[in-house]
Structure 1
Amino acid sequence: MSIKITGTGSYIPKKIEKNEDFHQHEFLNADGSSINYPNEVIVQKFKEITGIVERRYADDNLTSSDLGFLAAQKAIDDADIDQEEIDYIICAHNFGDVRANTVQSDILPCLASRIKHRLKIKNPKCVAYDILFGCPGWVEGVIQAQAFIKAGMAKKCLVIGTETLSRVVDKHDRDSMIYSDGAGASIVEATEEEGGILAHESASFTYDEAYYLFFGNSNNKALCPDTRYIKMHGRKIYEFALTNVAQAMKDCLDKSGVDIVDVKKVLIHQANEKMDEAIVKRFYRLFKSQAPEDIMPMSIHKLGNSSVATVPTLFDLIRNNKLDDHKINKGDVIIFASVGAGMHINAVVYKY
């Protein structure tokens, strides 16, 4: 028996927010002071670092659970399964349902229950719960699904990553340009086919690193001091990820018994192009090797950072031949990896 991803689906919002759309924003320093550069310079420097040219925002009438439902429907159809046979629905997110033009998060009931309700699944033994694990949430959900299946507690699991980060950003913070909305989903099940999940690795670094990503006040000190927005210590995250994600990927590959030369793709969380490139280079250097040019597919240029949705969306796009010249063939070994708030990191070695 192997444990494989037998179906995928994603929802990419239609609304495109281009870099030029930020030229009219009032960006401020963290202390509320003015930035001594015109917005055109700020935006250009942002693009050079992150690689982001545009990102997607959800329509006002849609919430995170709506996006997750739309992606889940596609994954179920792609796997060609009876949804009543799903044993677990695991929904990764960070902020719940934040409706457009509001500041309050809604997670009652949990998003997994909402999605199960929308799917019209009647089976009460289909357990639906949420996972809060920062950007690595979908990868961790896949790891949990595998554990349920290996323990004999499940045969089929639906794992979803969904987020509307555009509704929790501080528009006066330059970092707000990074974030986007989207959802990705997958069916994980036991099969008689070869391959599937070969190894996994997870870790939580909290002693010094817990608050590298946090909720904080707007850079505009005239706004309500009781409203919080997503904030980050970007340099600290970069340095942390460079060392720890690369090491987690190495440890995971070592566990799998797969040789580095047999890895065909690395699907890493789409957080920042330069950071991701540096992580993959560091990973290959740990094996005294050099990263192949086409090893790391990227979606961040057009889709931005949609947190838990980036990895499953990337995987779905490649499976459906919708990402440039990147393809995954049967038998290929790939690595999923992510880093995010917590600070959490994880990796999975997977044979397609």
Structure 2
Amino acid sequence: MSIKITGTGSFIPERIERNSDFNEHEFLNLDGTGFNQPNAVIIEKFKAITGIAERRYIEDELFNSDIAFFAAERAIADAGIDPEELDYLIVAHNYGDVAHNHMQSDTVPSIATRVKQKLKIKNPKCVAYDMLFGCPGWVESVIQANAFIKAGIAKKCLVIGSETLSRVIDKHDRDSMIYSDGAGATVIEASDEEGGILAHESATYALDEGTFIYFGKSNNPTISEERRYIKMHGRKIYEFALSNVPEAMKTCLEKSGTDIADVKKILIHQANEKMDEAILKRFYKLFGLSVPQGIMPMSIDKLGNSSVATVPTLLDLILKGNMENQELKKGDTIILASVGAGMNINSIVYKL
């Protein structure tokens, strides 16, 4: 028996927020002081480092649970299953449902419960719950689904990664330009076919790294409201990722028994183009190799960092033929990898 992804779906919001839309923002340091550079220069440097030219935001009337539902519908249809057959419905996110221009997150009931309700699933034995694991949440949820199926307590699982980071960004923080909204979903099933999930690896570094990404006040000290926003120590995250993610990917690949030459694509969390390129360079250096051309598809330039949604969205885009010069076919081996708040890292070696 293998455990395979039998259906994928994603939801990419139609609203485009371009880099030029940040020209009128007042960017400030954490201590509230201003920068000695005009916004045009800040944005130009941001683009050179992250690779992001634009990102997607959801419409004002939508919620995170809505877009998770949209992606789920598409994955279920792609798999051709009856949703009543699902044993688990797992939704990875970080901030719940946050209404437009509202400061409070709503996580009761869970986002997974809301998605199950929107899907009109009647079966009470379809267990719905949320995964809070930072940006690696979708990958970790797939690992959990894999465990449930291997243990014989599930046959079909729906795993969703969905986030609306536009609702928790500080417009006075230049890092706000990184974040975006989106959702990706997959159906995971037991299969008689070869391949599927060959190995996985996860880790949490919390002692010194636990607050590299956190919730904090606005960089603008004149704002008196008690609202909190997503914040990060970018340089520390960059150094952490380069030190730990390549090793985790190497360990996972070795556990799978797969030769690195047989890896066709590496789908890595789209957080920062330069960081992802550096991670891959270090990963291949561990094997004494250079990075093969075209092995790391990138969507960050158009979609930004949608946290838990980046990897499943990327997978869906490629499998549906919606990424130029990128394709996957049956029998191909890929690596899925992510890093994020926790600090958490994980990786999966998967054969289509």
With structure 1 as the length reference, what TM-score do the two structures score? Answer: 0.99
**What amino acid sits opposite 1:220 in the alignment?**
N
**What amino acid sits opposite 2:327 in the alignment?**
K
| 2:58 aligned residue | 58
**After superposition, what is the alpha-carbon deviation per residue over 1:115-147, rounded to whole angstroms, capped at 9, x for unaligned?**
000000000000000000000000000000000
| 1:140 aligned residue | 140
**What amino acid sits opposite 1:275 in the alignment?**
M
Work out the CA distance in 1 between the residues paired with 2:350 and 2:184.
18
| 2:297 aligned residue | 297
**After superposition, what is the alpha-carbon deviation per residue over 1:90-126, rounded to whole angstroms, capped at 9, x for unaligned?**
0000000001110100000000000000000000000
Work out the CA distance in 1 between the residues paired with 2:342 and 2:2.
31
Compute the displacement of 1:297 (Å). 0.2
SS of residue in 2 equivalent to 1:281: helix
SS of residue in 2 equivalent to 1:287: coil
SS of residue in 2 equivalent to 1:3: strand
Compute the displacement of 1:324 (Å). 1.2
Work out the CA distance in 2 between the residues paired with 1:81 and 1:257.
32
**After superposition, what is the alpha-carbon deviation per residue over 1:51-80, rounded to whole angstroms, capped at 9, x for unaligned?**
000000000111110000000000000000
CA contact (8 A) 1:217 1:225 kept: no
Work out the CA distance in 2 between the residues paired with 1:224 and 1:158.
42
Work out the CA distance in 2 between the residues paired with 1:281 and 1:243.
12
| 1:82 aligned residue | 82
**After superposition, what is the alpha-carbon deviation per residue over 1:237-270, rounded to whole angstroms, capped at 9, x for unaligned?**
0000011010000000000000000000000000
CA contact (8 A) 1:337 1:346 kept: yes
| 2:129 aligned residue | 129
CA contact (8 A) 1:339 1:346 kept: yes
**What amino acid sits opposite 1:219 in the alignment?**
N
Q: How does 1:243-258 map to 2 (within 5 A)?
A: 243-258=243-258
Moved more, 112-121 or 22-31: 22-31
Compute the displacement of 1:208 (Å). 0.4
Q: How does 1:198-347 map to 2 (within 5 A)?
A: 198-224=198-224, 226-347=226-347
**What amino acid sits opposite 1:50 in the alignment?**
T
Work out the CA distance in 1 between the residues paired with 2:186 and 2:282.
29
**What amino acid sits opposite 1:198 in the alignment?**
L
| 2:107 aligned residue | 107
**What amino acid sits opposite 2:320 in the alignment?**
N
Compute the displacement of 1:227 (Å). 1.4
| 2:182 aligned residue | 182
Q: Percent identity?
A: 69
With structure 2 as the length reference, what TM-score do the two structures score? Answer: 0.99
1:32 corresponds to 2:32? yes
The count of residues paired between Structure 1 and Structure 2 equals 352
**What amino acid sits opposite 1:312 in the alignment?**
P
Compute the displacement of 1:226 (Å). 2.0
CA contact (8 A) 1:52 1:301 kept: yes
SS of residue in 2 equivalent to 1:239: helix
Work out the CA distance in 2 between the residues paired with 1:102 and 1:19.
24
1:22 corresponds to 2:57? no
Compute the displacement of 1:173 (Å). 0.3
Compute the displacement of 1:31 (Å). 0.7
| 1:118 aligned residue | 118
**What amino acid sits opposite 1:170 in the alignment?**
D
Moved over 4 A (4+): none
1:159 corresponds to 2:150? no
**After superposition, what is the alpha-carbon deviation per residue over 1:165-214, rounded to whole angstroms, capped at 9, x for unaligned?**
00101000000000000000000000111110000000000010000000
**After superposition, what is the alpha-carbon deviation per residue over 1:215-254, rounded to whole angstroms, capped at 9, x for unaligned?**
1110100112521110000000000001101000000000
**What amino acid sits opposite 1:80 in the alignment?**
G
